[in-house]
Every structure is written in structure tokens, then in C-alpha cells.
């Protein structure tokens, strides 16, 4: 009998106007025509995701505390579709009275009445994909929206009296200078969101950019410049009162994204829909990335009642994931149980990073730790430790897998 204690659910809504040049997410391009109708393959997709959710209805489950609609561009899904998915989640899992329901929305893909209708359905957190405030940079990364769409979107967010919303930016864009980034941060602060995400552009191999651009070389900013952008964001946003609670995320106190914290704490979560990952009872599973393969998998899996999809995550993988995800958080991570050899190896490997001021090694009383056996908690320092987190994480990985 499966008994799930997870209380977080991610649902993937894979519709986008066009594919951005840096994007390797599983999406379907729907073009620039009229708003999507709740029929044809859109209806078929929502029905498939509902069927996947319904596979849980015969098992003991907990009410959800966080629900996240990501994409893709969830604001392209007709309201009836979102309503069906929420009804289905409520019937199968139910949710807490203070559930966080997040929806990603892109400028130019929603209206004020639509935003208000989302709120009526229970959505209480929005994530606005601005990425940049400059039209030339937006055009250069293949985004469909422009500055005028952003201003309109923010105006509607205010008219709808949305209290909990994130403004998402990307740094390190082609032809982006430090002044451009400074301007984006300035306009972002002017909008007064309760949360900001600032991700550095990643060049994925199977994207238009992956085929054209080389990280660190023009028109992409140099590594030195992207580091300056990171530090500028850290200084500007913390000075404005935002808490830098995760490597790439800032929030007004108490308005951190609860759903994403489930991932960073390496806790379990449901994933539903194309390409979505779930992590349940020690099993991690990523669903197929194309619609036909997802439907075929779903049909096959529904036939195997009583199983959880995916491979078991080994104890070593779980340990490494807990450290690597937990170190993304400003609060750091308490070490899981380690052997005395592992404690010694970790203490030695991180000593030089501690001297550089990148990481704090702490004992159980949160005091600086001067002995391997007393090592209890690790915390990256902001901003240098976050900036060089890859180096620290590589050393942790090497010393725990040797």
C-alpha cells in the first residue's frame, strides 16, 4: 500500500507563443494567434494531467500545502483548464487553508479580468517572467513580449491588488552591459514586487543559443562581468530591504516561495504533466518530454496499480543532493549523518574555502567549528560563497564520492 506524506505538487503547462533562444524546457509552440480555446489537444492534455492526478485517489495522501503551475506559459491555458486541474487536485488531495498556489504568468499573455479570475480560483502567488526591461535585449533572446507589455502587466497586478508576486529577471544576456543590468534592477525595484528571482543565463546545448554561442565569449558577457552583475544584484536588492534567502532569490521577509523551498530542502513532491519530475518515497522520476511519449507512459503506468514511478535514489545520491540543494539557501544546511572519515574529508576539503571567507563551518551551537568531529552545519557566505558555489560543491562532491 502506498502512503504518501508529500504536500507539494508541481504541474507543467507546456504552452508558449514561441521558443526563446535559450530554452530547453518541454513545451509546445502555439504561435501568436487568438487566445487558446479549451478544445482539441489543449483539452486532451488537461484531461491527461487530471488522469495522472487521479491515480492517487485510492491511496492515503495528505492535503497539499503548496501547488505550483509552471511551464511553459501557464497564463496561456484557458481558465477552464486551470479550473479543471484545481478541482481535480482538490478532489484527490484537498489542501490546507493557507495553501500557496503559484502561477507563472508572462507579460502579453493575460488580461486584468484573467488575473482576477485566477484569484477567484484560489491562485494567491504570481511569478511574472519579465527577464529584462530593454526591448533590444528581449528581442535578442527570442522573447515575444516587450517593455510596454511589462508595464501593462505590472499595472494590472496592482489593479488586481496582488500582494504576493515575484518579478523574474535574467542576467548575463548577449550584449547586456553592467548599466543595462543596473537599469533592469532599478525598474524591478520601482515595481515593488514582494519577491525577485535573478537567474544567470545558462547556455544549454540543445537550444538556438547552444548552437551559436560560447559561454564567456562575445556577445555574451565575460565571466568577470557576470560576477559583477551578481554582486550588483546582491548589493542593490539587499539594500532595498530584500532578504537574499537563496542563491538566485530575494524576498520581503515572510514572502519567500514556499514551494521552491520544498526542493531546496530536498523534501518530497508530486510532479504532474509533460517533463515534470516527482520525488516520492525516495523515488525520483522525470516524465517523458513529448506529448505522445507522455500519453503512452501515462497509459502504461495507470495499468500498474500500486507502484511509484522512478528509480530509488541511493543513500549517497540523497546525501549529496541534500548538501548541494541546502547550500543554495542562506541559512545553509545541517549535515546529515556522516561517517567519521567523511567528516574528516569534508573538514579538510572545505578548510581553504573557509579561509577565503566563502563558507562557514559551524558546530551544533552555531559557533565556528575547529574540529572535524564537531562539524554540524555548513553555510555559504553572501555574496562570495554563493558566487563560487560551484567550486565549493565540486569539492564536496569529490570528497564524498572518492
> Which positions from 157 through 196 interact with ligand SF4, judged by CB under 6 A?
none
Instruction: Count the neighbouring beta carbons within 10 Å of the beta carbon of residue 72.
Output: 25
Least distance from C-beta 144 to ligand SF4, angstroms?
8
195 by Cβ neighbours in 10 Å (0-12 / 13-18 / 19+) ranks as buried
> Which positions from 71 through 110 interact with ligand SF4, judged by CB under 6 A?
71-73, 106
C-alpha cell at 383: 555574496
- Kindly state whether residue 25 participates in binding ligand SF4, applying the rule CB under 6 A: yes
CA–CA gap between residue 126 and residue 103 (Å, rounded)? 5
- Kindly state whether residue 207 participates in binding ligand SF4, applying the rule CB under 6 A: no
Give the binding range for ligand SF4 (CB under 6 A) out of 67-75, 148-156, 162-170, 179-187: 67-75
Strands 165-171 and 125-131, by their bridges, are parallel
C-alpha cell at 247: 542563491
R_g (Cα) of the chain, nearest Å: 22
Give the binding range for ligand SF4 (CB under 6 A) out of 15-23, 160-168, 213-221, 316-324: 15-23
C-alpha cell at 97: 487553508
- Kindly state whether residue 275 participates in binding ligand SF4, applying the rule CB under 6 A: no
Q: Which residue has the cell 492515503?
A: 60
Strands 165-171 and 333-334, by their bridges, are unpaired
Least distance from C-beta 14 to ligand SF4, angstroms?
8
C-alpha cell at 28: 509546445
| Cβ proximity of 105 and 153 under 8 Å | yes
- Kindly state whether residue 274 participates in binding ligand SF4, applying the rule CB under 6 A: no
C-alpha cell at 300: 502504461
Least distance from C-beta 105 to ligand SF4, angstroms?
11
The binder of ligand SF4 chosen from 9, 13, 16, 378 (CB under 6 A): 16
User: Phi and psi of 33, rounded to 5°?
Assistant: -75, -155
- Kindly state whether residue 26 participates in binding ligand SF4, applying the rule CB under 6 A: no
- Kindly state whether residue 23 participates in binding ligand SF4, applying the rule CB under 6 A: yes
> Which positions from 280 through 319 interact with ligand SF4, judged by CB under 6 A?
none
Binding marks (x or -) toward ligand SF4, 121..160, rule CB under 6 A? ----------------------------------------
Least distance from C-beta 32 to ligand SF4, angstroms?
13
CB nearer ligand SF4, residue 25 or residue 285: 25
CB nearer ligand SF4, residue 72 or residue 271: 72
CA–CA gap between residue 157 and residue 160 (Å, rounded)? 5
DSSP annotation string for 178-196: HHHHHHHHHHHHHT--SEE
| Cβ proximity of 17 and 6 under 8 Å | no
- Kindly state whether residue 46 participates in binding ligand SF4, applying the rule CB under 6 A: no
Least distance from C-beta 300 to ligand SF4, angstroms?
27
The binder of ligand SF4 chosen from 9, 11, 13, 27 (CB under 6 A): 27
What are the residues whose beta carbons fall under 8 Å from the beta carbon of 384, sequence distance 6 or more? 356, 357, 358
The residue ranges that bind ligand SF4 (CB under 6 A) are 16, 19-20, 23, 25, 27, 71-73, 106
Amino acid at each position: 500500500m502506498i502512503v504518501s506524506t508529500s504536500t507539494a505538487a508541481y504541474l507543467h503547462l507546456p504552452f508558449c507563443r514561441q521558443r526563446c533562444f535559450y530554452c530547453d524546457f518541454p513545451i509546445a509552440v502555439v504561435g501568436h494567434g487568438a487566445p487558446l480555446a479549451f478544445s482539441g489537444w489543449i483539452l486532451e492534455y488537461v484531461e491527461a494531467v487530471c488522469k495522472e492526478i487521479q491515480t492517487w485517489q485510492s491511496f492515503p495522501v495528505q492535503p497539499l500545502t503548496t501547488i505550483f503551475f509552471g511551464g511553459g506559459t501557464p497564463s496561456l491555458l484557458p481558465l477552464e483548464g486551470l479550473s479543471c486541474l484545481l478541482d481535480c487536485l482538490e478532489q484527490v488531495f484537498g489542501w490546507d487553508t493557507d495553501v500557496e498556489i503559484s502561477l507563472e504568468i508572462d507579460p502579453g499573455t493575460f488580461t486584468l479580468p484573467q488575473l482576477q479570475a485566477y484569484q477567484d480560483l484560489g491562485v494567491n502567488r504570481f511569478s511574472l517572467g519579465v527577464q529584462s526591461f530593454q526591448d533590444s535585449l528581449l528581442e535578442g533572446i527570442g522573447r515575444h513580449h516587450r517593455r510596454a507589455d511589462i508595464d501593462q502587466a505590472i499595472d494590472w497586478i496592482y489593479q488586481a491588488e496582488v500582494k504576493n508576486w515575484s518579478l523574474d529577471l535574467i542576467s548575463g544576456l548577449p550584449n547586456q552591459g553592467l548599466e543595462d543590468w543596473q537599469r533592469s534592477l532599478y525598474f524591478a525595484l520601482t515595481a515593488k514586487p514582494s519577491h525577485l528571482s535573478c537567474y544567470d543565463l545558462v547556455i544549454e546545448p540543445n537550444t538556438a543559443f547552444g548552437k551559436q554561442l560560447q559561454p564567456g565569449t562575445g556577445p555574451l558577457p565575460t565571466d568577470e562581468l557576470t560576477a559583477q552583475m551578481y554582486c550588483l544584484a546582491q548589493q542593490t536588492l539587499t539594500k532595498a530591504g530584500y532578504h537574499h534567502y537563496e542563491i538566485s532569490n530575494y524576498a520581503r521577509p515572510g514572502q519567500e516561495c514556499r514551494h521552491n523551498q520544498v526542493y531546496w530542502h530536498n523534501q518530497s513532491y508530486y510532479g504532474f504533466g509533460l517533463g515534470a519530475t516527482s520525488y516520492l518515497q525516495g523515488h525520483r522520476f522525470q516524465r517523458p518530454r513529448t506529448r505522445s511519449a507522455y500519453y503512452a507512459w501515462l497509459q502504461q503506468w495507470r495499468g500498474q496499480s500500486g507502484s511509484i514511478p522512478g528509480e530509488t535514489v541511493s543513500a549517497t545520491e540523497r546525501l549529496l543532493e541534500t548538501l548541494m540543494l541546502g547550500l543554495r539557501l542562506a541559512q545553509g544546511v545541517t549535515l546529515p549523518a556522516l561517517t567519521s572519515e567523511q567528516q574528516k574529508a569534508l573538514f579538510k576539503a572545505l578548510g581553504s574555502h573557509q579561509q577565503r571567507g566563502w563558507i562557514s563551518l559551524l558546530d551544533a551551537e552555531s559557533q565556528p567549528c575547529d574540529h572535524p568531529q564537531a562539524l554540524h552545519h555548513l553555510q555559504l557566505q553572501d555574496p562570495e560563497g554563493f558566487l563560487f558555489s560551484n567550486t565549493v560543491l565540486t569539492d564536496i562532491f569529490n570528497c564524498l564520492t572518492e
